[in-house]
């Protein structure tokens, strides 16, 4: 005797339309600014309440899981677009857009048995924590790379960026040696023993993403801070560093020295660290690299296909060992090969699962691409940030920032849905 399985919740509103068509939602997922499309974001209709995110770093390799018992889900392509089919029909259907710990749930009206195109106001990520969830981000500003201004351009509400201890999603520190903008005379140093970003490992573990922009020169970041960054990354943390921030990764006995190939004195080779305009040739022989090249075109970059015109690019590493890192771009720097953009997953020698796939936990981005220093004018954030549209170079940095926020997997395989 056959028994029909009763539907539960919104599943009861999934219609069999027959020849009339399929109940479908289409659109594009955008950064919080509502204009920059996002690749590899998941869009879904939940059939249960969403679970809160962990409030501390943990090892979360990609497994295809999102909370809320999705009825239907899709992942955005290189142009940010998605097609979500067999959607429950009705008024105020919940819809979730998510990448990593960026997540926003909205309510949409879905006519049955037809295709509905959603506006950007429904499919952008949250600008503030009142609209959804934003990863907990810590930034220590550097004097020659105003990454803090990029956070505004991608659409984060400036009221969500504050000095630590105010319950905001972006905690604002100044670098220890040559800081960039500050919010006030009380902005703490990242190296402060009690209020700092990276001197207390337990506190560091509360950040989903840590941004360490260029300080304008090579500095000794100190054994405690460097050691904490290593443990943070290996536990599942995410770090974005630019230019002279290689000092966080390459120093005597650093586990990350093996990333570089060739090496100089066991460290990353230092090239001509000069600001020049250059044409970066994108590396497209791996899935995300190909998607990045396609995404730049859809994001309105003016460069030729598979190229990025970079007005502020530098040279600090010749190449990477592909066993440990992934190059995203290459550049001929006055006859010397350079790798101005790379990522690596941690731990470097991650144990494999039963299928032989490395089980990485954390991820880092290193880029010799700057947010132009001219994007900030003055010492005080956010007034110093000039605003305006994203430059092509800033678009590339934004892509890497959102990719850094997503779940961690080998770059050699397509993103897990």
pTM to 2 decimal places: 0.95
CA-CA-CA-CA dihedral for 220, 399, 163, 223, to nearest 10: -20
412 pLDDT more than 90 = no
- Residue-range domains of the chain with CATH: 9-123 (2.60.40.10), 137-405 (3.40.50.880)
CA distance linking residue 366 with residue 321, whole number of Å: 14
How far apart, in Å, are the Cα atoms of 122 and each of 29, 95, 117, 396, 405?
9, 9, 10, 24, 21
Mean pLDDT of 298-309: 93
CA-CA-CA-CA dihedral for 120, 124, 127, 132, to nearest 10: 120
Detail the DSSP E strand segments found in 206-256: 209-212, 238-242
pLDDT at 200: 94
pLDDT at 1: 44
pLDDT at 405: 94
Task: Provide DSSP, 305-343.
Answer: TTEEEEEEE--S-S-B-TTT-EEEEEEEETTEEEEEEEE
CA distance linking residue 361 with residue 343, whole number of Å: 13
Interacting residues of 166 by C-beta distance below 8 A, sequence separation 6+: none
Burial of 83 (0-12, 13-18, 19+ CB in 10 A): middle
Give residue 191's Cα distance to chain centre: 24
Provide the pairing of β-strand 90-99 with 161-162. unpaired
- Is the preceding omega at residue 61 within 30 degrees of 0, hence cis? no
User: How many Å is the maximal CA-CA distance in the chain?
Assistant: 78
416 pLDDT more than 90 = no
CA distance linking residue 374 with residue 144, whole number of Å: 9
**pLDDT > 90: what percent of the chain?**
78
pLDDT at 356: 77
121 pLDDT more than 80 = yes
pLDDT at 4: 58
Is residue 308 within 8 A of residue 396, CB to CB? The reply is yes
- In this predicted model, what pLDDT tens digit does every residue of 227-273 receive, in sequence order? 999 999 999 999 999 999 999 999 999 999 999 998 888 888 876 66
Is residue 100 within 8 A of residue 126, CB to CB? The reply is no
3 pLDDT more than 60 = no
**Scanning the structure block, which residue is given the tokens 């779940």?**
407
**Strand, helix or coil for residue 233:** helix
- In this predicted model, what pLDDT tens digit does every residue of 84-107 receive, in sequence order? 999 999 999 999 999 999 999 999
362 pLDDT more than 70 = yes
- In this predicted model, what pLDDT tens digit does every residue of 20-76 receive, in sequence order? 889 999 999 999 999 999 999 999 999 999 999 999 999 987 887 899 999 999 999
pLDDT at 112: 95
- Go through the chain and tell me how many residues it has: 417
pLDDT at 168: 97
Tokens read off for 27? 């659109």
pLDDT at 271: 67
pLDDT at 265: 83
Mean pLDDT of 278-294: 96
**pLDDT > 70: what percent of the chain?**
97
């Amino acid at each position: 005797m056959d028994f029909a399985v009763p539907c539960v919740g919104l599943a009861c509103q999934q219609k069999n339309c027959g020849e009339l068509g399929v109940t479908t939602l289409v659109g594009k997922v955008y950064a919080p600014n509502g204009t920059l499309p996002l690749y590899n974001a998941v869009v879904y209709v939940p059939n249960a309440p969403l679970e809160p995110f962990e409030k501390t770093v943990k090892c979360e390799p990609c497994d295809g899981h999102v909370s809320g018992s999705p009825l239907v889900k899709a992942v955005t392509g290189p142009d940010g677009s998605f097609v979500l089919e067999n959607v429950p029909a009705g008024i105020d259907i919940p819809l979730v857009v998510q990448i990593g710990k960026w997540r926003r749930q909205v309510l949409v009206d879905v006519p049955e048995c037809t295709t509905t195109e959603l506006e950007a106001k429904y499919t952008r990520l949250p600008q503030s924590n009142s609209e959804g969830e934003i990863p907990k981000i810590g930034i220590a500003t550097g004097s020659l790379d105003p990454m803090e201004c990029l956070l505004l351009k991608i659409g984060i509400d400036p009221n969500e960026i504050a000095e630590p201890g105010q319950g905001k999603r972006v905690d604002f520190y100044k670098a220890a040696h040559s800081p960039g903008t500050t919010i006030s005379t009380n902005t703490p140093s990242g190296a402060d023993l009690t209020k700092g970003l990276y001197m207390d490992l337990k506190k560091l573990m509360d950040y989903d993403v840590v941004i360490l922009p260029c300080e304008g020169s090579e500095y000794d970041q100190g054994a405690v801070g460097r050691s904490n960054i290593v443990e943070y990354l290996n536990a599942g943390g995410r770090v974005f560093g630019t230019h002279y921030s290689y000092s966080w990764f390459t120093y005597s006995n650093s586990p990350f020295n093996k990333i570089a190939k060739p090496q100089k004195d066991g460290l990353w080779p230092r090239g001509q660290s000069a600001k020049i305009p250059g044409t970066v040739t994108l590396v497209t022989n791996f899935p995300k690299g190909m998607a990045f090249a396609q995404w730049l075109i859809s994001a309105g970059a003016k460069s030729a296909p598979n190229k990025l015109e970079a007005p502020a690019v530098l040279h600090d590493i010749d190449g990477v060992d592909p066993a440990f890192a992934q190059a995203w771009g290459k550049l001929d720097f006055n006859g010397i090969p350079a790798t101005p953009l790379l990522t690596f997953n941690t731990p470097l020698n991650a144990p494999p699962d039963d299928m032989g796939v490395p089980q990485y936990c954390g991820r880092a981005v290193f880029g010799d691409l700057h947010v132009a220093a001219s994007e900030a004018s003055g010492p005080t954030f956010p007034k110093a940030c000039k605003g305006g549209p994203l430059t092509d170079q800033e678009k590339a940095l934004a892509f890497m920032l959102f990719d850094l926020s997503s779940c961690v997997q080998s770059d050699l395989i397509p993103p897990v849905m």
